[in-house]
Amino acid sequence: MDKAQLKAKFEEMFGSGGTIRFFSSPGRVNMIGEHTDYNGGYVFPAALSMRTMIAFRERQDNIIRMAATDLDVLVEADINNLDNYKDLKWGNYQLGIADVMKKQGYYIGGCDMLFDDTTPHGGGLSSSAAIEVATAIAFATISNEKKGIDAPVDNIEMAKISQKAEHEYIGVKCGIMDQFASAMGKKDHAIFLNCATLDYKLVPLNIKGCKLVIANTNKKRSLADSKYNERRSECETAVEILSQYLPGITCLADVSVADFEKYADKIENETVRRRAAHVVYEIDRVVKSVEALEKDDIAYFGKLMNASHDSLRDLYEVTGIELDTLVEEARRLPGTIGSRMTGAGFGGCTVSIVKDEAVDEFKEKVGAAYTAKIGYAPSFYISEIGDGGREIK
Ligand code: GLA
């Protein structure tokens, strides 16, 4: 929906009058650097033009009312009991944000909100980060105005609040990548982000003559959260062991490739060793990818993307037959420069760099082969890289 349609729908649901404002934040695609963020490493995500847009109007009481344009749902929550809504199927992300922000001293007042998402739900493109960051920006904007703070909303702070809500309210120990990309994205750029320091550089995503094609497995994700937390603790185990030989390291990003090669065999558990190997080499690949892009060497960037996927399949084991099939079929085509899964894995999406003239063939051939093998069709999006979260005036 565009803004006018969303406004009309909002008035139909919540009545007309008052000032209706609009806040928006995008989903993201990660180009490379997977499962490195919570290890203090580098990531390289970009914000999409797919987004969440909220129509927002203040209320004069303590009730937050929320609905979505694509769901038959109306949630009503009491601001003084925000702890009570953790088990909601829809609305828990938003109320998690309200809870965290209220505890941090932001003004949180009653409001009506209508959400319109163009990022596919559960598709690995961070539809949840989009919802969180858009909600946080809405609340922070109102809070600043009530408190007479005449400064723009600090989007990095909004990313941190959103991650905290995931940890404390939703119970997923995610890294900072998705929320940071949603909050800080810039049109036609990817973000080279150091997840330990949050230092970042915007790098033009120069893929002249090519398109970014996102392919959605359309697999229903289950178990993703528990497996995610399991990978995280395997990495922590590796750090504990390696720190006996490399005193002072606090995360896998502190371990160089050379040091890892020297001490890898001290990690007796083979699974833990493979997890750590993925992370150490993946962080190195991110650095090399940014260098390649800056030198206009898309071919090498594509090779690094391929290597990233293979490592996520063989060492980190977060792909599965759906993602692997999409990637294998993509790589059969000469017009594919590189192809890999993006996001947490276990379903979700792949991202491929495909030559302009080969995009139609890509959709057709990859789509047909996937459907034949998996039994249902994937979806394709030709993605545009957009801006991060903001109020839409
Ligand atoms: C999910 C998490 C991110 C990141 C990726 C894997 O998207 O939310 O923090 O860990 O998985 O790279």
Q: Kindly give the distance from the C-alpha atom of residue 173 to the centroid of ligand 1, in angstroms, as a whole number.
A: 9
What pLDDT does residue 383 have? 82
Contact present, 341 and 350 (Cβ < 8 Å): yes
Residue nearest to atom 9 of ligand 1 (CA): 175
pLDDT(315) > 80: yes
3-state secondary structure at position 16? coil
pTM given for the model: 0.97
Q: Kindly give the distance from the C-alpha atom of residue 345 to the centroid of ligand 1, in angstroms, as a whole number.
A: 9
What's the pLDDT tens digit per position in 320-367? 999 999 999 999 999 999 999 999 999 999 999 999 999 999 999 999
3-state secondary structure at position 50? strand
What pLDDT does residue 172 have? 87
Q: Which two tokens stand for residue 24?
A: 């928006």
Show Cβ contacts of residue 354 under 8 Å, excluding neighbours closer than 6 positions: 210, 211, 212, 213, 330, 333, 335, 336, 337, 362
State which of 174, 221, 251, 340 you would mutate to test the pocket of ligand 1, scoring each by most atoms of that ligand within 8 A of its C-beta.
174
> Which residues constitute the domain of residue 26?
3-205
> Is residue 137 domain-resident?
yes
> Is residue 148 domain-resident?
yes
Q: Ligand 1 — pocket residues by CB below 6 A?
A: 34-35, 37-38, 174-175, 177-178, 343-344
C-alpha to C-alpha distance for 192 and 303, rounded to whole angstroms: 18
* Residue 178 annotated among the catalytic residues of the structure: yes
> Is residue 180 domain-resident?
yes
C-alpha to C-alpha distance for 272 and 232, rounded to whole angstroms: 11
Look at the alpha carbons of 254, 259, 264, 265 in this order and tell me if their dihedral is positive or negative. negative
What pLDDT does residue 60 have? 96
Q: Kindly give the distance from the C-alpha atom of residue 148 to the centroid of ligand 1, in angstroms, as a whole number.
A: 36
Contact present, 50 and 118 (Cβ < 8 Å): yes
Contact present, 143 and 79 (Cβ < 8 Å): no
Check 37, 112, 116, 178 and give the catalytic one: 178
State which of 35, 48, 279 you would mutate to test the pocket of ligand 1, scoring each by most atoms of that ligand within 8 A of its C-beta.
35
Average pLDDT estimate for 275-294: 98
C-alpha to C-alpha distance for 139 and 391, rounded to whole angstroms: 11
> Is residue 283 domain-resident?
no
What's the pLDDT tens digit per position in 225-259? 779 999 999 999 999 999 999 999 999 999 999 99
What pLDDT does residue 16 have? 97
pLDDT(223) > 60: no
C-alpha to C-alpha distance for 312 and 293, rounded to whole angstroms: 22
How many residues are recorded in the chain? 393
Task: Please tell me the number of Cα atoms within 13 Å of 117 on its side-chain side.
Answer: 22
Looking from the CA of residue 43, the nearest atom of ligand 1 is 12
Which of 147, 123, 148, 119 minimizes the C-alpha distance to 134? 119
Q: Kindly give the distance from the C-alpha atom of residue 78 to the centroid of ligand 1, in angstroms, as a whole number.
A: 31
What pLDDT does residue 46 have? 98
Other CB atoms within a 10 A radius of the CB of residue 221 amount to 18
Looking from the CA of residue 228, the nearest atom of ligand 1 is 11
What pLDDT does residue 121 have? 87
Find how far residue 298's CA is from the centre of its chain: 23
Q: Could you give the maximum distance between any two Cα atoms of the chain, in Å?
A: 68
Q: Which two tokens stand for residue 35?
A: 């499962």
Tell me, what CATH number does 30's domain have? 3.30.230.10
What pLDDT does residue 220 have? 80
Other CB atoms within a 10 A radius of the CB of residue 232 amount to 17
Tally of domains in the chain? 1
Residue nearest to atom 1 of ligand 1 (CA): 344
Q: Kindly give the distance from the C-alpha atom of residue 344 to the centroid of ligand 1, in angstroms, as a whole number.
A: 5
